[in-house]
């Protein structure tokens, strides 16, 4: 992996010298992304500090949006600038959970009616959100020029320390590309056998489609009765992933099944705000502290990530 990363850096250094275009080293490049990545980026800025975290699952309704939003809040409390991007095509609901009605979304950016800056909504909780609902389905139909312009536009988000992307459940190619291009890809499951089976399904597809060595897959067990139950779910999954897929799946932690979660959803306020000391909040805080400690020395950055995604659609 070291060798590969060094080779790519070398390519990019060469590119930079010969064309004046700066690019990203491609440390986490997946199998499919290498070519696109080595092509060089139109992005001029040094935007490598943004850490991109995707949250995904096999099955819907396991807690992705709650995790994304509340994790964002916990990172914000550590002094980070955080953006939550809603990339769930089917059930976009980050805004609903925060009681926000966005006027515009990424669709308007793609159509050049609005800039990212225009659609970014600052919330009262110190995090910003990007509504993506109908926008993402348009990406496949973009011309090369539109795509390039869009990537440059997304670069506006490089002010953020952390971008959390709440993806849809399942295995659409959009979702897979997000996962493969992220610095951290969190897979959420609950202890229910159906959720575990579906989580395993998506992990298996990631392992087959991409070079799993380069993807930092992390597992979160949501709605657990306690640490022991979560650990046994995690052990089973990490063992199977290691044994059959040769894939390293890190167990990041668990979240209690906690009545505060549905209560907060109904009130359209994050549980980290309504009840910062509830079991679910304490678990989120713990997860985020762990992630912050395991921070990558050099995250890929927003430009690199979106270039990887959109250059291969
Ligand atoms: N830790 C939890 N404890 C109790 N209920 C939860 C928990 N996490 C999620 N839920 C319930 O599951 C529902 C779906 O969560 P959500 O975050 O919208 O899932 P997803 O984004 O994966 O579809 C929530 O509205 C809530 O009622
Ligand atoms: Mg959701």
pLDDT tens digits for range 145-171: 777 777 777 788 989 999 998 887 666
pLDDT < 70 regions, the chain: 1-48, 89-92, 133-142, 169-175, 212-214, 295-313
- Provide the pLDDT for residue 188: 96
| Tokens read off for 231 | 């650990």
Taking the CA of residue 265 as reference, the ligand 1 atom at the shortest distance is: 25
- H/E stretch holding 102: none
- Provide the pLDDT for residue 83: 96
Name residue 130's beta-bridge partners: 85
Q: What is the pLDDT of residues 91-114, one digit of tens each?
A: 668 888 999 988 888 888 878 899
Residue of 57, 66, 98, 190 to mutate, ligand 1, most atoms within 8 A of C-beta: 66
Determine which residue's CA is closest to atom 24 belonging to ligand 1: 262
**Is the minimum distance from the CB of 262 to ligand 1 under 6 angstroms?**
yes
The Cα 114–Cα 104 span in angstroms is 8
Q: Is 140 helix (H, G, I), strand (E, B) or coil?
A: helix
Determine which residue's CA is closest to atom 16 belonging to ligand 1: 63
Q: Across 170-246, where does the E strand assignment appear?
A: 184-189, 217-224
Total domains in the chain come to 1
- Provide the pLDDT for residue 23: 29
Contacts (Cβ under 8 Å, ≥6 apart) of 10: none
**Alpha carbon of 206 to ligand 1 centroid (Å):** 24
* b/e per residue 176-188 (b: at least 16 CB within 10 A): bbbbbbbbbbbbb
**Is the minimum distance from the CB of 222 to ligand 1 under 6 angstroms?**
yes
- Provide the pLDDT for residue 208: 83
Structural domain boundaries enclosing 200: 2-310
Name residue 297's beta-bridge partners: none
- Nearest Cα to 304, choosing from 184, 175, 182? 182
**Alpha carbon of 69 to ligand 2 centroid (Å):** 10
| Tokens read off for 55 | 């949250």
**Is the minimum distance from the CB of 255 to ligand 1 under 6 angstroms?**
yes
- Provide the pLDDT for residue 287: 97
- Nearest Cα to 253, choosing from 272, 277, 233? 233
**Is the minimum distance from the CB of 170 to ligand 1 under 6 angstroms?**
no
The Cα 75–Cα 82 span in angstroms is 7
The Cα 65–Cα 98 span in angstroms is 11
Orientation angle between helical segments 279-293 and 64-77, nearest 10 degrees: 70
Determine which residue's CA is closest to atom 10 belonging to ligand 1: 63
CATH of the domain at 50: 3.40.50.300
Taking the CA of residue 88 as reference, the ligand 1 atom at the shortest distance is: 21
């Amino acid at each position: 992996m070291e060798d590969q990363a060094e080779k790519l850096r070398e390519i990019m250094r060469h590119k930079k010298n010969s064309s004046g275009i700066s690019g990203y080293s491609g440390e986490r490049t997946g199998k499919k992304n290498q070519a696109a990545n080595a092509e060089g980026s139109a992005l001029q800025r040094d935007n490598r500090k943004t850490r991109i975290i995707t949250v995904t699952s096999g099955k819907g309704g396991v807690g992705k949006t709650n995790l994304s939003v509340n994790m964002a809040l916990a990172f914000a409390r550590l002094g980070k600038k955080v953006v939550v991007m809603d990339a769930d095509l089917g059930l976009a609901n980050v805004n609903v959970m925060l009681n926000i009605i966005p006027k515009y979304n990424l669709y308007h950016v793609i159509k050049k009616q609005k800039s990212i800056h225009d659609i970014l909504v600052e919330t009262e909780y110190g995090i910003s959100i990007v509504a993506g609902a109908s926008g993402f389905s348009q990406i496949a139909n973009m011309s090369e020029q539109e795509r390039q312009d869009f990537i440059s536009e997304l670069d506006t988000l490089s002010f953020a320390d952390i971008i959390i992307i709440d993806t849809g459940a399942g295995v659409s190619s959009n979702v897979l590309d997000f996962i493969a291009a992220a610095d951290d890809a969190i897979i959420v499951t609950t202890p229910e056998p159906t959720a575990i089976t579906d989580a395993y399904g998506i992990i298996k597809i990631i392992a087959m489609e991409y070079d799993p060595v380069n993807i930092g897959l992390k597992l979160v067990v949501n709605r657990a009765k306690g640490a022991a139950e979560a650990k046994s779910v995690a052990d089973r999954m990490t063992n199977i992933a290691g044994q059959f897929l040769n894939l390293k799946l890190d167990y990041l932690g668990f979240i209690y099944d906690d009545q505060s979660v549905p209560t907060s959803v109904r009130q359209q306020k994050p549980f980290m705000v309504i009840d910062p000391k509830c079991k679910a909040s304490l678990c989120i805080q713990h997860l985020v502290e762990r992630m912050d400690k395991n921070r990558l020395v050099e995250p890929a950055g927003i430009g690199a990530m979106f270039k990887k995604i959109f250059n291969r659609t």
